[in-house]
Amino acid sequence: MTASPASFRLALAQLNPTLGDVEGNLALARAARAEAAYAKADAILFPELFLAGYPPEDLVLKPAFQDACRAACETLARETADGGPAVLIGLPWAEGGKLYNALAVLDGGKIDAVRFKVDLPNYGVFDEKRVFDSGPMPGPVNLRGVRLGVPICEDIWGEDVVECLAETGAEILLVPNGSPYFRGKSDVRLNIAVARVTESRLPLVYLNQVGGQDDLVFDGASFVLNADSSLACQFSSFTQQIVITEWTRGADGWRCAQGPRALPLDDDKADYAACVLGLKDYVEKNRFPGLVLGLSGGIDSALCAAMAVDALGADRVHAVMLPYRYTSSDSLEDAESCAKALGVRYDVVPIAPPVEGFENALAPLFKGTNRDITEENLQSRTRGTILMAISNKFGAMVMTTGNKSEMSVGYATIYGDMNGGFNPIKDLYKMEVYRLSSLRNHWKPEDAQGPSGLVIPERIITKAPSAELRENQTDQDSLPPYDVLDAILEGLVEKEMRVSDLVAKGFDLETVKKIERLLYGAEYKRRQSAPGVKVTLKNFGRDRRYPIVNRFRDQGRVAHSPDPRLAPHTTLTKTEVVDF
């Protein structure tokens, strides 16, 4: 066995793989390894399932995809014969009729060891038990004289895997992750990692990927903890980085020298950066040339336009104003001012002729009926059709701009303003849209391509929101004030609260019942909506999966206390069995 060295230089690659682009991910790994070799690193660690991309969902069940990932791994393994850094890299691994989420250790021109993920998450956005088999409890791998424990992501969220590694001689814990962002996630991860370090008394490297994948965004924010739980390194959020860490072996084991200590973004800044990165990667990884959106003069489309420019640059964003007779002069002015501030192409396409054409075509069928929401929705659907036509003609993807408050209660027109390929603010409630709009006027992410300063005119932020589908319309004609609506929705959606619990907090019973009814009734719309960036603990789609056909309504029932006499026999001890 190789004697344990006194020092160890480890490169950590917080990078942005593309799901399914095995050759592209291999090229990223090669370039990172070359950088690590230049820095004379002994080894380089990559995030979870790096060669495949994460999460691969059912793609990973395709044998051809498994073959491509294994071939890339073997190619990279052969390249380690050059005496440069060893490689620890993730991929799906088929063996013995089972499929594992694996980490391969490549050194000396071969695959030196493989370890499999034990604890497969199956909650929230995760569905790994659907596609992977659980691996056996692992022991450490010996890499150039250092005994490395390599628990994979969820393996550190419980005690067992790390305890097993500590008991079998691991000296450092290297944890590759595919951990998606939600608000406050950095603190959650750090607390979990500190708990494992405290229990094992081993230093821990937490390496997370960065980038967008459909509705998930991975924020990076990787870190290194020493065995005393002190923070040795903290990576930046939402940014690719390769960091060389220096380790020395002392009487008490291995210790990482102080490295970069970035301040991770949090709260509204993190949400904004997540939305921008998620939008950017959705467009870039799907190879769209740019974005087109309806710029209405309202706050939702203005914030989306700012995010689009920050993600792609002004030259790849096309804003279109689609006015009708109810569009106010303020909206026309505000949309133009916003477009100018962002520097995007701006066109005005009046919709009166096609709307009136639809009304004329339907006039015989609608004879004898009153004008109602049907005619209002014709405006929205006309706008959706025009934007899709522009997309078809020039190739840019339509970006839809509805917020979570609207998507919750169905305050959106299916096949109208819901048209589009992606929605960066889909998981932001209306009051959060206001906050992020104000934030963007005095801050932007470091790598944002948009201009600094005021890009969302102040009147857009301060005026009463309106769909402008009829005279003097405001959103509050149909909905409670947004601060009230959002608080009720957070209770119903994120916290799954009873109606009676919300009423106990001071909300009006009939208002809560109405919002609950709208929430359930809009499920069919949400199933047909564009994907959008997840920023909350429970987004629509991956997290919250409700049936469309659903007659249950809470209606303010008081919390029920189960009758213990009716509990199943299996839950009772012998002396507690009740005669029926």
Condensed to tens digits (0 to 9), the pLDDT of residues 129-172 reads: 888 999 999 999 999 999 999 999 999 999 999 999 999 999 99
Known active-site residue 153: yes
Closest CA to 382 of 410, 356, 363, 354: 354
Question: Does residue 545 lie in a domain region?
Answer: no
Query: Is the same domain home to 383 and 480?
Result: yes
Which CATH number characterizes residue 177's domain? Answer: 3.60.110.10
Structural domain count of the chain: 2
Per-residue pLDDT of 420-473, as tens digits, reads 999 999 999 999 999 999 999 999 999 999 999 999 999 999 987 766 566 666
pLDDT of residue 560: 59
Question: Does residue 580 lie in a domain region?
Answer: no
Query: Is the same domain home to 115 and 192?
Result: yes
Q: Are 193 and 223 in contact (CB under 8 A)?
A: yes
Query: Is the same domain home to 235 and 305?
Result: no
d(CA 280, CA 278): 6
Query: Is the same domain home to 276 and 243?
Result: no
Q: Give the chain's length.
A: 580
Query: Is the same domain home to 452 and 521?
Result: yes
Contacts of the segment 475-480: beta carbons below 8 A, 24+ positions apart:
475/411, 478/411, 479/405, 479/409, 479/411, 480/511, 480/515
Query: Is the same domain home to 249 and 363?
Result: no
SS3 for 48-97 is CCCCCCCCCHHHHHCHHHHHHHHHHHHHHHHHHHHCCCEEEEEEEEEECC
Query: Is the same domain home to 233 and 360?
Result: no
pLDDT of residue 567: 56
Known active-site residue 523: no
Other Cβ atoms closer than 10 A to 419: 22
Instruction: With a cut of 60, say whether residue 207 has pLDDT above it.
Output: yes
Catalytic residue among 48, 128, 376, 516: 48
d(CA 516, CA 497): 11
Three-state SS for 216? strand
Query: Is the same domain home to 201 and 335?
Result: no
- Provide the residue range defining the domain that includes 300: 269-527
Which CATH number characterizes residue 477's domain? Answer: 3.40.50.620
Catalytic residue among 69, 73, 153, 275: 153
Catalytic residue among 117, 185, 269, 430: 117
Query: Is the same domain home to 257 and 278?
Result: no
Of the three residues 244, 264, 284, the one that is the final residue of a domain is: 264
Q: What is the DSSP letter of 98?
A: E
Residue found under tokens 């990165």: 277
Question: Does residue 563 lie in a domain region?
Answer: no
For residue 96, the number of C-alpha atoms closer than 13 Å in the C-beta half-sphere is 5
Of the three residues 264, 296, 321, the one that is the final residue of a domain is: 264
Known active-site residue 48: yes
Split at pLDDT 50, 70, 90, the class of 571 is very low
Three-state SS for 114? strand
pLDDT of residue 577: 30
Of the three residues 245, 264, 283, the one that is the final residue of a domain is: 264
| Mean pLDDT over each residue of the chain, to the nearest integer | 90
Q: Are 311 and 447 in contact (CB under 8 A)?
A: no
SS3 for 318-339 is EEEECCCCCCCHHHHHHHHHHH
Question: Does residue 174 lie in a domain region?
Answer: yes
Other Cβ atoms closer than 10 A to 315: 12
Other Cβ atoms closer than 10 A to 267: 11
pLDDT of residue 312: 97
Per-residue pLDDT of 485-539, as tens digits, reads 999 999 999 888 999 999 999 999 999 999 999 988 888 888 888 999 999 887 8
d(CA 265, CA 286): 27
b/e per residue 191-223 (b: at least 16 CB within 10 A): ebbebbbeebebbbbbbbbbbbbbbbbbbbbbb
According to DSSP, the β-strands at 43-45 and 7-14 are parallel
Query: Is the same domain home to 239 and 386?
Result: no
Is the bond preceding residue 56 a cis peptide, omega within 30 degrees? no
pLDDT of residue 249: 94
d(CA 126, CA 534): 13
Instruction: With a cut of 70, say whether residue 2 has pLDDT above it.
Output: no
Per-residue pLDDT of 308-354, as tens digits, reads 999 999 999 999 999 999 888 898 999 999 999 999 999 999 999 99
**Choice among 226-230, 245-249, 282-286, 414-418 with the minimum mean pLDDT:** 414-418
